[in-house]
Amino acid sequence: MLWLFVLVTIPCGMGGRASPGLAHCELPKKQRDLNSFLWRVHRDPPAFLFGTIHVSYDLVWPFIPKNAKRALEQSHDVYFELELGEPATLGAIASCQKLPQGQRLREVLPASLYTRLKTHLDYVHFMLPTWLGLANRDTARRHAEYLFKTFVGDWERKRPVWLLVLLNWLTEADVQNHRAPLLDVGLAHMAAAGGKRTGAVERPEEQCLPLNMLSPSKVLFALNHTLQMQEMIRVGSSKATNSTKELINNYNCGDLSSIIFQQEPSQVLGWIDGSLSPDDAFVAHSIDHYLRQELIYKRNARMAQRVYSLLLRHPDKSFFFAFGVANTTENITESSTTSINEKQKKGKKCR
């Protein structure tokens, strides 16, 4: 689900204990030697920016630093990218993904591509109970049906670009890493239980519309190549990667540098490699450039300005902003701290 794009990361002290098998790293024993993703804006009362990843709550909660938990508890207002627990938000996202005027996907896709897509989704439907890895077969079957109905059930009503997003998520590794609630939703539940006001710095259409604006020819190009990659994995001619597990491991270790901050732009689309023809590589990189501009850099600037505006409008309140960590941090930190410095306030790593 592509609305789960991300923002901030910040080195700081990290608390919490590692659960066995979650992270392949040596966690330092002393609090001062650990890293987390928390940034404090020095104001009175303070404001915090906390970097999350959009994965299941239980996979990362044991690693959430104690200082981040304290910051959440002590803040008056808690803001997210979107309020994913709100029915209105989920409804707006679902509506934005649908084809207009009751169209069906078979009417807008080439017949051969539609057939290949349906074949792959049928395969996913069949494999889901196995992918879930649950010992009880009946439980696995029921949960698989729930997941398929929730995420795939209305696939013939979706715009092709959202099928592209869906294919990237419907893999064995990502299904195994999917549980409820997501970390962001879990934080929102805790904030609400603590009597805090929650809010969002984005509207659903701001995340959705840039994808819908991608040209149909480029969407078909990307959908075809993404489907080709999944078909090769399905027949065993290519090996699936587990980038989500790697992301979780690095997040729990407090270090995303190896897979996030050093990424080349071409890694936004996982199938971009040296096997593409020069013409196809040109199209792929143009898609990648568009996605980065619209869904990372422009979003960072817009969200940073809204964070800054909230701080100015409510000088007597403490804030906790929880945004995804997988985007670059430069735009959000530079935009917000530059504005704050103009008022003689400065962002600082928290301890």
**For residue 147, is pLDDT > 50?**
yes
Q: What is the per-residue DSSP string for 122-179?
A: HHHHHHHHHHHT-SSHHHHHHHHHHHHHHHTTTGGGB-HHHHHHHHHH-SHHHHHT--
Q: Are residues 77 and 199 in contact, defined by beta-carbon separation less than 8 angstroms?
A: yes
Q: Tell me the per-residue pLDDT of 182-236, one tens digit each, with 9 for 90 and over.
A: 899 899 999 999 999 999 999 999 989 999 999 999 999 999 999 998 999 888 8
Instruction: Quote the radius of gyration of the chain (alpha carbons, Å).
Output: 21
Q: For CA atoms 243, 244, 250, 255, give the dihedral sign.
A: positive
Separation between Cα atoms, residue 182 and residue 190, nearest integer Å: 12
pLDDT at residue 244 in the model: 77
Average pLDDT (254-269) is 53
Rounded CA gap, 126 and 38, in Å? 41
What's the pLDDT band for 24 if we cut at 50, 70, 90? low
Would you place residue 134 in the very low, low, confident or very high pLDDT band (cuts 50, 70, 90)?
confident
Residue, of 168 and 327, whose pLDDT is higher: 168
Residue 308 has pLDDT above 90, yes or no: yes
Residues 6+ apart with CB under 8 A from 302: 202, 206
Q: What is the mean pLDDT of the chain?
A: 79
Digit-coded pLDDT (tens) for 266-287: 445 666 666 788 999 999 999 9
- In whole angstroms, what separates CA 318 from the centre of its chain? 25
Closest CA to 159 of 85, 88, 103: 103
Q: What is the pLDDT of residue 15?
A: 37
262/293: higher pLDDT: 293
Q: What angle do CA 39, 303, 219 make, to 5 degrees?
A: 120
- Confidence label for 81 from pLDDT (cuts 50, 70 and 90): very high
Q: What is the pLDDT of residue 327?
A: 45
Higher local confidence (pLDDT), 246 or 80:
80
Yes or no: say if 155 and 121 are a contact pair by the CB < 8 Å rule: yes
Asked if residue 257 has pLDDT above 90, the reply is no
- Lowest-confidence range among 32-36, 61-65, 67-71, 225-229? 32-36
At 101, is the pLDDT very low, low, confident or very high (cuts 50, 70, 90)?
Answer: confident
Query: What's the farthest any 2 CA atoms get from each other in the chain?
Result: 61
Provide the pLDDT for residue 160.
95
Nearest to 184 by CA among 306, 89, 300: 89
**CB-based burial label for 19 (10 Å; 0-12, 13-18, 19+):** middle
Amino acid (1-letter code) at residue 137: R
Separation CA 62–CA 32 (nearest Å) = 18
Q: What is the pLDDT of residue 182?
A: 85
Beta strands 47-52; 38-41: pairing state: antiparallel
- Percent of the chain with pLDDT strictly greater than 70: 76
**Of 102, 118, 121, residue with least CA distance to 110:** 118
Per-residue confidence (pLDDT) for residue 37, from 0 to 100: 85
* The pLDDT value given to residue 6: 31
Residue 174 or 317, more confident? 317
- Partner residues linked to 98 by β-bridges: 158
Distance (Å, whole) CA 274 – CA 26? 35
Residue 147 in contact with residue 175, Cβ under 8 Å? yes
The confidence band for 34, taking pLDDT boundaries of 50, 70 and 90, is low
